[in-house]
Amino acid sequence: MRATDFEFRHRFWVICFVYLLGFGPYNFDHVNSTAAMAHWILGARDPHLESLAARHMLQALFVLSASLITVAAWIRTWGGAYLRAEVVHDSKVHTERLVADGPYRHLRNPLYLGNMFLAAGMAFLASRVGGVILILGNLLVVLRLIGREEAALTESQGEAYRTYLNAVPRLWPSLAPRLPAGDMRPEWPQAFLGEAWMWCFALDGFIFAWLMNFRIYFPILWITGFVYFGVMMATKWQRRRKSRLPVAGSPSANLS
């Protein structure tokens, strides 16, 4: 199971399409998955979810949703601190080095595990059918992207990467590190900046769980989207600027 070049280059839009499919079933499945869970927990005691107990139940479930997104934000930030934001958001597969420090001592794909926690958290906002589509659709995309990256890294890194494959789990983390700590220094500021959109997502979820007001929730979602695109554009601009800088000792560097 391996993603194509097109899928990997445009993985952001592929994932967006999965979320579009996940929220589409509201057109025929009008019951929110969180409301369905609350109905199942409360049973016939409050069929219309109009009591104070029902409101508290819904709030607790939405807090769980926001907590899952917070876990996703932390895992992706931790992984991004060792990969650099320009690698995390790049459209190319990077095979020039093997990162085996930080979270990569516990699992091989922390960023994609973060994606799965995000999908699980967002499933609370979808319909019953949509929630299933979000989780299974994201799992399919993640497994295909992992297959693509692992094939490229195996070809590039050879035996070193095969040893890493045998030592570290693919997607479900080991509680104990499978490798000794290296000497890499995490870049926390750029990691938090690169995942700022997801931290905003998590904060938005907690605000919604508290106020239960979509009029506040959706504007924050839009702001979060703009933050993410701003970070992406800034990262690409910085990468292009670095690539255009003359290398010391080259002819262009001495033309001054």
| Paired tokens of 23 | 């929220």
The per-residue pLDDT for range 31-59, each reduced to its tens digit, is: 999 999 999 988 877 777 888 989 999 99
pLDDT of residue 256: 34
The per-residue pLDDT for range 1-26, each reduced to its tens digit, is: 798 989 999 998 999 999 999 999 99
Higher pLDDT, 192 or 90: 192
Quote the percentage of the chain above a pLDDT of 90: 51
What is the spatial distance between Cα 189 and Cα 246, in angstroms, rounded to a whole number? 26
Mean pLDDT of 119-136: 97
CA 239 and chain centroid, separation: 22
pLDDT of residue 225: 73
Category of 158 on φ-ψ map: left (φ > 0), alpha (ψ -120 to 50) or beta? left
Q: Are 247 and 253 in contact (CB under 8 A)?
A: yes
Nearest to 194 by CA among 100, 79, 91, 109: 79
| Paired tokens of 178 | 């499978």
The per-residue pLDDT for range 168-183, each reduced to its tens digit, is: 999 999 999 998 888 8
pLDDT of residue 88: 47
Task: Give me the helices (H) in the chain, please.
Answer: 5-9, 11-23, 33-42, 52-83, 85-88, 110-122, 128-157, 159-167, 188-194, 196-211, 214-244
